[in-house]
Amino acid sequence: MEASTGRMAIELVRARPERFSVVLLDLVMPELTGAETFRELQKIREDLPVIVCTGYASDGHIDAAMRRKIAGLVQKPFTPERLRAAIAEVAPALVS
C-alpha cells in the first residue's frame, strides 16, 4: 500500500492495522512530518516496525525518542538492494 501524506498513512493503518508488516516512512511529507506520523502510528500499533528514509545528511531531524523506537534508517537515495536489506532486518518473511 502507498500513502502520499502522513494523514493518509495514519488512516490506512488505523483502518486495518493487522494488514501491515512494516512501514517505510519519509521524514518530509505533506500535511504531517514523518516524526508526527510516526508518533500517531505508534499510538495505533506500537509493535509495527517503521523504517525511516531521509535525504538529510545526518539523522539530526530524528528526535531521541523516535531514534530509540524506529526499526531502521535508510539514507536517500537508496538502491533497491539497500531497501530490501532494511526490510529483511525487520520482516524477513517479506523478502525470502
What digits encode the pLDDT tens for the residues 34-77?
A: 999 999 999 999 999 999 998 875 556 677 768 889 999 999 99
For 2-95, where are the E strands, in sequence order?
23-26, 50-54, 72-75
Cβ-contact 7, 66 below 8 angstroms: no
State the average pLDDT over residues 92-96.
Answer: 87
Is 86 a residue whose pLDDT tops 70?
Answer: yes
**3-class SS of residue 20:** coil
pLDDT above 70 covers a percentage of the chain that reads 93
What digits encode the pLDDT tens for the residues 24-34?
A: 999 888 899 89
Q: pTM of the entire structure?
A: 0.89
The single-letter DSSP state of residue 30 is: S
Cell of 95: 523478502
**Nearest-angstrom CA–CA distance, 59 and 35:** 12
The single-letter DSSP state of residue 60 is: T
Predicted confidence at residue 5, as pLDDT, reads 96
Predicted confidence at residue 58, as pLDDT, reads 59
Is 83 a residue whose pLDDT tops 90?
Answer: yes
Q: What is the dihedral of CA 95, 61, 31, 70, to 10 degrees?
A: 30
Give residue 37's identity as a one-letter amino acid code. Answer: T
Tell me which fold the domain 6-94 belongs to.
Rossmann fold (3.40.50)
Domain coordinates in residue numbering, the chain: 6-94
